[in-house]
């Protein structure tokens, strides 16, 4: 059929915009999130955009909820062609400030949520010879300061996607990984970190971005169609990645300067 898509974290932000982009092509969408009001709003907009589908509340930390969601896709849509593991949360803080609970929370949602999504839906994708789209982040490639737990979780998503690209080729299941930089989103709603100053700094970066979640969804649509594995929606991100591949030390030096600035700013705010 090739027109049935599952999206986690579809109640807002990039998840909603991905749903709307594919809805405009008339796709059937299985939408999940922990926020039910958000899901109802997304489904309403999906129908207005020319798509259809159903919603199901799902916490990606709970594998049984994901397998139940996969079962619902089989019952209601007859299977699935594309899965988008998009659900994620933001966090920040220097390594010395982050608690082990901060690490567990971040890894459980941003990394293991993707692992569990792939695992729960793989049998359906093998049947449909479908595609996996995992949403990572430029943080996976750049490892910016004061977000080590986020960097590690997202780097894990890239490594998982690379592993699956190779392993699932024989089953004709396609794999894509998306690494957006900062963009205008509601990611801060879920932000967790030791200092309010850090949240404010991340907020400024999100607001100042020239690119919206809708722009990113459209770029993903084009690049998946073109068969691109590593999808970098931001031009700045593509340039930074090229620089890191060529001269990693230059990037590390730049990040150290950034870390010093962040520390100084945090001290000012606290003072």
The conformational region for residue 53 under phi > 0 = left, psi -120 to 50 = alpha, else beta, is left
Round to the nearest angstrom and report the end-to-end CA distance of the chain: 60
Q: Read out DSSP for 197-240?
A: HHHHHHHHHHHT-S-BHHHHHHHHHHHHHTT-SEE---HHHHHH
- Judged by DSSP in three states, 92 sits in coil
- Judged by DSSP in three states, 5 sits in strand
- Does residue 150 have an active-site annotation? yes
Q: Which of 66, 218, 81, 230 is nearest to 159 (CA)?
A: 230
H-helix segments, 29-138: 36-49, 63-77, 100-106, 112-128
Burial of 97 (0-12, 13-18, 19+ CB in 10 A): middle
CA distance 137 to 140: 5
Displacement of CA 270 from its chain's centroid (Å): 32
- Judged by DSSP in three states, 12 sits in coil
Token pair listed for 152: 């590690």
Handedness of CA 211, 217, 223, 228 (dihedral sign): positive
Q: Which of 63, 150, 219, 252 is catalytic?
A: 150
Query: CB neighbours (10 Å) of residue 251?
Result: 19
Q: Show which residues are catalytic.
A: 150
């Amino acid at each position: 059929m090739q027109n049935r898509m599952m999206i986690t974290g579809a109640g807002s932000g990039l998840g909603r915009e991905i749903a709307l982009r594919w809805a405009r092509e008339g796709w059937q969408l299985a939408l999940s999130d922990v926020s039910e009001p958000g899901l109802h709003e997304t489904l309403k907009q999906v129908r207005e955009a020319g798509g259809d589908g159903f919603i199901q509340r799902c916490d990606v930390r709970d594998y049984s909820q994901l397998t139940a969601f996969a079962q619902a896709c089989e019952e209601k849509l007859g299977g699935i062609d594309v899965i988008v593991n998009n659900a994620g949360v933001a966090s920040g803080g220097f390594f010395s400030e982050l608690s082990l609970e901060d690490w567990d929370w971040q890894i459980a949602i941003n990394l293991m949520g993707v692992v569990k999504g792939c695992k729960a839906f793989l049998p359906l994708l093998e049947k449909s010879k479908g595609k996996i789209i995992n949403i990572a982040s430029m943080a996976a490639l750049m490892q910016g300061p004061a977000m080590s737990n986020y960097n590690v979780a997202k780097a894990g998503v890239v490594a998982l996607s690379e592993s699956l690209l190779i392993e699932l080729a024989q089953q004709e299941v396609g794999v894509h990984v998306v690494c957006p930089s900062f963009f205008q989103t509601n990611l801060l709603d879920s932000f967790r970190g030791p200092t309010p100053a850090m949240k404010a700094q991340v907020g400024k970066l999100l607001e100042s971005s020239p690119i919206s979640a809708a722009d990113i969804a459209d770029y993903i649509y084009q690049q998946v169609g073109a068969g691109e594995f590593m999808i970098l929606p931001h031009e700045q991100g593509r340039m930074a990645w090229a620089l890191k591949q060529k001269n990693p030390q230059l990037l590390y030096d730049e990040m150290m300067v950034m870390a010093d600035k962040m520390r100084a700013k945090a001290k000012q705010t606290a003072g």
